[in-house]
Homo-oligomer: A and B are copies of this chain.
Amino acid sequence: MGPVRQLLSGVDLTEQQWRVLRVVQESGPIDPTQIADQACLLLPSLTRILQKLEEKGFIDRARDETDRRRQVVTLTATGMEVIEQNIDASLALIERTREKMGAEDYEALLDLLRKLNGLEL
C-alpha cells in the first residue's frame, strides 16, 4: 500500500478514505453498513472515516426517511472531482502491480485470499 499512500498524499486522503470514496462512487447512494461490507471495514472505523470525508466536503450524509435508523451517503461534486483527478493513477498502480506479479499469480493470490476470508475457523 505504500505507493497508494504516496499517490493519495497529494490530496490529503488515506487509503481507507479513498476506498470508501470509490465504493460510494461505484455504488451510488448507499448506507454505511453496505459500505463497510464492500470496503472490508468495521462500522466503528467507518463512522470516523465518514466523519472525516464529510468534514473535507467529499460526501454528504442524509437520514433515510423510510428507515430513520439508516443513512444515505452521497458523493459531492468535490468528491467526484477528487476521484476523477486520481482514478487513472490509481488504476495504473493496480495494473502495474498485476504486471509485476504476473497476471496468473495476481489472480491466484486474490482467489486464495477470498478463500481464506470465507473460511470458518
Question: Chain A interface (Cβ within 8 Å of chain B)?
Answer: 2-3, 93, 96-97, 100-101, 105, 108-109, 112-113, 115-116, 119-121
A112 surroundings in chain B (CB, below 8 A): 101, 105, 108-109, 112
A109 surroundings in chain B (CB, below 8 A): 109, 112-113, 116
Number of copies: 2
CA A120 to CA B101, docked complex, whole Å: 10
Main secondary structure of the interface of A (DSSP, over half): helix
B108, A121: Cβ atoms under 8 Å? no
CA A119 to CA B101, docked complex, whole Å: 8
Nearest CB in chain B to that of A100: its residue:
B119
A120 surroundings in chain B (CB, below 8 A): 100
